């Protein structure tokens, strides 16, 4: 390539770069505005999910990188003292979570991935509520059985004629002996 041709090619590349730079600068305010809208909508979604008052943690895998074997997760969980949408990475061969942060603070690409998984997250949480109900019902039954065992007659004493164990005060209502 002749020096004249090289100079012309460099000049064309410089012109293309200058045009791309001008366009990027012109589009930045638009990108900022739509990103602000995305953040506001994610904050509203977080508030709406919290408003369900389910009281259970939810999770959904939003990305699996087969080359690095890293997974990206979306959670609805307690973060600090608040229920928040968060995101974390994990290695496919480990349960350790890395880079946990509120979703609204995650890179834009992660926020965009998460949007498509919000319904899946809430569906998973509904399944967790079902499991939690079953666990609490079992806890109630086990506690009732425990209370009955405490009220059971001692060896050699006849059982009470009534269900007096049912009239025991709730835990915490009785006065402490000390």
pTM of this structure:
0.71
| pLDDT value of residue 167 | 56
Domain boundaries in the chain? 34-151
CB-based contact 60:74 (threshold 8 Å) = yes
| pLDDT value of residue 68 | 74
Rounded distance between C-alpha atoms, residue 157 and residue 154, angstroms? 5
pLDDT along the chain (178 residues), means of 10: 70 84 91 96 97 96 84 94 93 79 95 97 96 95 91 62 55 49
Q: CA angle at residue 12 from 16 to 10, to 5 degrees?
A: 115
| pLDDT value of residue 77 | 96
| pLDDT value of residue 94 | 74
């Amino acid at each position: 390539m002749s020096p004249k041709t090289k100079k012309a090619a460099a000049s064309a590349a410089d012109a293309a770069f200058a045009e791309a730079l001008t366009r990027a600068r012109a589009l930045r305010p638009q990108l900022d505005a739509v990103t602000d809208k995305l953040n506001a909508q994610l904050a509203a979604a977080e508030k709406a999910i919290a408003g369900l008052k389910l009281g259970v943690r939810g999770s959904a895998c939003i990305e699996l990188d087969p080359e690095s074997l890293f997974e990206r997760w979306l959670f609805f969980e307690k973060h600090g003292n608040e229920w928040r949408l968060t995101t974390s990475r994990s290695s496919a061969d480990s349960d350790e979570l890395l880079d946990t942060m509120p979703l609204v603070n995650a890179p834009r690409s992660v926020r965009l991935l998460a949007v498509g998984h919000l319904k899946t997250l809430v569906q998973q949480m509904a399944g967790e509520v079902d499991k939690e109900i079953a666990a609490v019902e079992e806890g109630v039954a086990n506690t009732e059985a425990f209370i009955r065992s405490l009220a059971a007659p001692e060896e050699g004493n006849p059982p009470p004629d009534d269900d007096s164990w049912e009239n025991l005060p709730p835990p915490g209502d009785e006065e402490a002996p000390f």
